[in-house]
Chain A
Amino acid sequence: MSKEEKKVNRRDFLFTASYTIGAVGVGAVIWPMIDQMNPDKAQQALATTEVDISSIEPGKSITVLWRGKPIFIKKRTSEEIAEARAVKLDDLPDPQKDEDRVKSGKDEWLVMLGVCTHLGCVPLKDKGDFNGWFCPCHGSHYDVSGRIRKGPAPTNMEIPKFEFVDSNTIKIG
């Protein structure tokens, strides 16, 4: 009797084949139901924004909306750049050089996603212990390069993909 049970027979094959085809079928139906929740074509179409930066004074910043998120564009003074570059990398929770956060030759322009990397609030400018940004939600402090210095946020504020179209215009995205 035990010999017969162990033998793979026609019926076992049919069961396994049916389950497999069934699983593929269920998966093929479920995936569209899941993927429909991802950003649609209309959302993806908002992928780039061009911004005129000619009117920004040194030391000042503007906030623009890109993909529903705020982008901080700050024209930094030479003191601020010097301050950002004087920081030792060992003092940073997420070590990154200021040079790596700006386009070389355009060092005064800091363009970053104005979204706290903790839980997504918008940090306030010119606040906090490091002369940069401060997130009011859970108390994260960012420096003048937008790098996390203190608080619960795990990483520096993100630098989006952007380029200078000409000296007065940048294209984000």
Chain B
Amino acid sequence: MSDHEYVPKSKVGKWFNDRLPLLTLGAHLTDYPTPKNLNYWWTFGGILTFCLITQIVTGIVLAMHYVAHADLAFASVEHIMRDVNYGWLIRYIHSNGASMFFLAVYIHIFRSLFYGSYKSPREVIWIIGLMIYLLMMAAAFMGYVLPWGQMSFWGATVITNLFSAIPLVGDSITTWLWGAYSVDNPTLNRFFSLHYLIPFLILGLVVLHIWALHVPGNNNPVGIDIKKPSKDTVPFHPYITIKDAFALLVFMIIFAGFVFFTPNVLGHSDNYIPANPLVTPAHIVPEWYLLPFYAILRSVPDKLGGVILMFGAIFILFVLPWLDTSKVRSAVFRPIYRQFYWIFVLDVLMLGYVGAMPAEGIYLVLARVGTIYYFAHFIIVMPVVGLLEKTDPIPMSISEPVLTGGAEPSLARKVNDKV
């Protein structure tokens, strides 16, 4: 946080700022001291903000043409595609935007895992981020139901039936969620209502996420605490804004590539068949961003067990800051953890792959191995490696390795020094 007191130059500005210090907030955001060594993995916060705004704007527009009724929803989506001016463009931005949102959030999360951004004093930022991620999954799932195609209907059926695994009250909860005795018009109606609500909840959490970030300030690739402001920091504007803008531009090129050249490649063709409660598609798969969790669900030969493990795979992330025992934040200085990190990345990618395959034969075996490793990474690897690992020497400041440029620039701190 900038320490100096901001005083607006104009009289009107000063009058307003004395009553509502919005200009002070603006000055804080502009001057916000940022570590000067942030790499491009740090640009995804800005990219995610862009994704959220894009989804909200295109979503509001789509809601002007969409009809949330079981008899009309499918036709109204086709109406958007064929009749509404630029409807195809707005819908393709919205549907591909969801995928791009998840792509960005996964990079953002894995960046945090590599550089230890979830660790003290940033646990609350991490937990708010996970809440955003949970809401994103809920919003994406409900949004996928709205076109009322075959995948919408059966995806909704399978996901809502997860709750029927709860002992005793499971069936009542499922019926309550449906508002009927199966996924039906009341279900579609309420999903639309909630799908419209959730992005604004996310927006509120994003404000808290950034607020919580601005208390300790950004983590950085070397993962050390820095003085702010100091020679280790640069003001957010223009240094970070311009870097974020460049990364965003590259991201938008990829985004536009999907929207204009392969708008349906991430979707499923079965969703262009209207919902039919009598016929289940031969092969149900969720959207790509949920596949690893789907693989975990299917890897367990027990209904309740599968559901528990699937939710557990997400909820274990909430206690991650306390499972990681290492005092060193950045994996750059953690030679052993770094290798496990990449194994974990491969493990999640493999789970995603087998989640898209039929649950039989070798895929089932791989899903089980992947699931066991997923949990072992958090429950065994993280605590044990943190305690036993001999970490590399950590620089005293960001400037040091940059300015001296040597291979062994900063032995000011020895291997097992407290950070």
A residues contacting B by CB (< 8 A) are 34, 37-40, 43, 63, 65, 67-70, 118-123, 135-139, 151-154
Contact = CB atoms under 8 A, between A and B. Distances in A.
B277 A68 contact: yes
Among B176, B182, B186, B300, which residue has the most Cβ atoms of chain A within 10 A?
B182
Given A38-B175, A43-B186, A63 B278 contact: yes
B225 interface: no
Given A70-B277, A137-B158, A43 B180 contact: yes
A167 B161 CA distance: 36
B356 to A, nearest CB: 14
Contacts of B179: 37-40, 43
A154 B190 CA distance: 29
A137 B186 contact: no
B303 A153 contact: yes
B176 A38 contact: yes
A67 B280 contact: no
A39 B158 contact: no
B301 to A, nearest CB: 6
A121 to B, nearest CB: 4
Interface of B: 154, 157-158, 160-162, 164, 175-184, 186, 190, 277-284, 298, 300-304, 306, 358-360
A52 to B, nearest CB: 18
Among B183, B190, B303, which residue has the most Cβ atoms of chain A within 10 A?
B303
A150 to B, nearest CB: 10
B278 A65 contact: yes
B157 A121 contact: yes
B279 A122 contact: yes
B149 to A, nearest CB: 16
Chain A contact residues: over half helix, strand or loop, or mixed? Answer: loop
Nearest 10 CB-CB pairs, A to B?
A68-B182, A67-B181, A120-B161, A119-B161, A121-B280, A119-B158, A122-B280, A120-B157, A68-B184, A69-B182
A37 B157 contact: no
Contacts of B283: 136
A137 B360 contact: no
Given A118-B161, A137-B280, 4 more contacts: A39-B179, A69-B277, A121-B280, A121-B284
Contact of B284 (A39, A137, A154): A137
Contact of A119 (B162, B175, B177): B162
A25 B177 CA distance: 25
Contacts of A135: 280
Contacts of A151: 301
B76 to A, nearest CB: 21
A40 B176 CA distance: 10
Given A39-B180, A121-B158, A136 B280 contact: yes
Among A34, A40, A118, A120, which residue has the most Cβ atoms of chain B within 10 A?
A120
